[in-house]
Chains A and B, each alone.
Chain A
Amino acid sequence: MSQKPFLPNHIPPSVSATFELPFFESVSAGFPSPATDYMDKKLDLNELCIQNPSATFFIRVQGDSMLNAGISDGDILIVDRSLTAKHRDVVVAIVESEFVVKRLFKQGKKVLLVAENYHYPPLVIEDDSGFEVWGVVKRVIHNV
């Protein structure tokens, strides 16, 4: 029996929080608009940023420990729980019942959670019991 015969590879976005704005399909002048045939749907940020809505959560960042990864205080992270965390992914993890945002380093059985700011030392995970990856950070919403 193959390992995962039922899992869909790509899960289409099924929920999308958009509301439609009306198009101006006709113009009252004699000509039909030459653009009518080229009308397309509006660009949707959800489509760009969210692959799996059922597994996507938003988290607000507190602190500057991930500054060099482009994540600043007050930014909003788009976190996808459907992904399995890989080596070098930025993850939201639980360490001793506290949430952290760090870059994940895996070497064999060794796990390191590294901040992207030299003021903060890396966390070495010796014991798996209090450690869990909560989700993988896919994108950052940052005010310029």
Chain B
Amino acid sequence: MFLLVDCNSFYASCERVFQPRLKDQPIVVLSNNDGCVVARSNEAKALGIAMGVPLFQIKEIVQQNKVAVFSSNYALYGDMSERVMNIMQQFCPNIEVYSIDEAFLKFNFYHHDEATIFAFGQQLRERILQCTGIPVSVGIGSTKTLAKLANHIAKKKTQKSTLQKAYTEGYYPPRFCSGSGVFSLADIAHHESILSQISVGDVWGIGRQYDKKLQSFGFNTVWQLRNAPEGWIRQQMGVVGVRLVKELKGFPCYELEPPETDRQNICVSRSFQKDVSDLRELKEAIATYASRMGEKLRHFEQKAGIITVFIVRNRFKLNPQENGYAYSTQTVELHVPSSDSGKLISTATRLVEQLFRPGLSYKKAGIMASALTSQQALQSDIFGEAHTERKREILMHTMDAINTRMGKNTVRFSASGSFGSIQGSGWQMKAAFRSPRFTTVWDEILRV
């Protein structure tokens, strides 16, 4: 059985844990650089604030409705996310952290009766709420797609009335009616009555395009899609569509993905606050990302064999005459796999020098590490770099220790910019409305 646990309005909920006055207040959280809305509380959604709108466009709504506006506080969200994921892991070790605020759990129930499964979902939800203050919704089903769909139903308050039929049949525990935040599609016998009331667009993986297409062929409800002939689905939606329909029928096609430590690559990239057209600034930015990449690699005890750097030009400023791409990239293989920030920085800045074209403005840059090997499996090379590498490891370890203790970027490589230039640079993040980092910086903890 799969459970999808999804935090409700996660960023807004994190802010609320430490600021109770925000309880019923609409909240929006802004993207990097305070550009546009990336998260909304239900109250903010009800005001009609759309995802992705720039702040200046909703200024009036914000003022009239006392909407609380926050810059992204990634230190706080990351820490709260880790707490939520750890609690889930205590309930069930088979976990796939799907994003910062959702995870799939795979659980073998001895008793497949709905009441037991439902009670498990509720206990998980109550435990997370008590320990962290973050409300979650739990969807349960025999496949990931069904669990995701069940989660969607658990979250949507509006659908309570449309699903009234299922409750009045006396099947679902009455607690669901009062918004328990848990919904189960574990019992296939009840799928027809439930799935025939949900539109196809609500299925995970069905985008606006497919939604339109399916509707035009008369597939309006999930139940109709589930019973569509396989040949037709294959023809219209390919193998992904076939899998999706199988999953809706209760046959698992997707398993839990391995955790990030087993992943094939690690990436650090950011959009700039304003366009960057100066090589020095671009190098500072990429050096900072390379340094962050080093921290990540060392955290997961991995070394990178291949480094890729990419820079992205502002699409709107592309000259149609020049047939240049918006996206340029350069890759290099390291002699010896490394997680040394110094080495990553020198490699990355060299690559960015090769990519940079004077007179062009860039809006984003990033670095990706691939061909990852575990820290231990380090082979020697003829230039004896492996020995130096070991010495550098001690330096990196010390740097990480200082930065963990004294705060991020206490000790850093000078390539990532001096204090003077850091303020004015275009690539540095703007965060004018950030709340205190309540859980990661001693000077900013809650005061009572």
Contacts and interface: CB of A to CB of B under 8 A. Distances in A.
Contacts of A6: 91, 120, 123-124
A101 interface: yes
Interface residues of A, number: 35
Given A14-B89, A55-B131, A81-B131, A62 B439 contact: no
B45 interface: no
For this complex, into which size category does the number of interface residues on chain B fall? 20 to 34
A19 B404 contact: yes
A14 B21 CA distance: 32
A43 interface: no
Given A62-B448, A98-B20, A57 B89 contact: no
A100 B448 contact: yes
B20 A52 contact: no
A60 B447 contact: yes
Contacts of A98: 20-21
A55 to B, nearest CB: 4
B446 A57 contact: yes
B445 interface: yes
A94 B20 contact: yes
Interface in A46-68: 52-55, 57-62
Contacts of B130: 55, 81-82, 84
Nearest to B127: A7
B35 interface: no
Contact of A60 (B120, B132, B448): B448
Contacts of A15: 82, 86
A11 B90 contact: yes
B123 A82 contact: no
30 contacts: A1-B115, A1-B116, A1-B119, A15-B86, A19-B401, A54-B84, A54-B86, A54-B90, A54-B132, A55-B130, A55-B131, A57-B445, A58-B439, A58-B445, A59-B446, A59-B448, A60-B446, A62-B447, A77-B448, A81-B130, A81-B132, A81-B133, A82-B131, A97-B20, A97-B23, A98-B20, A99-B20, A99-B446, A99-B448, A134-B133
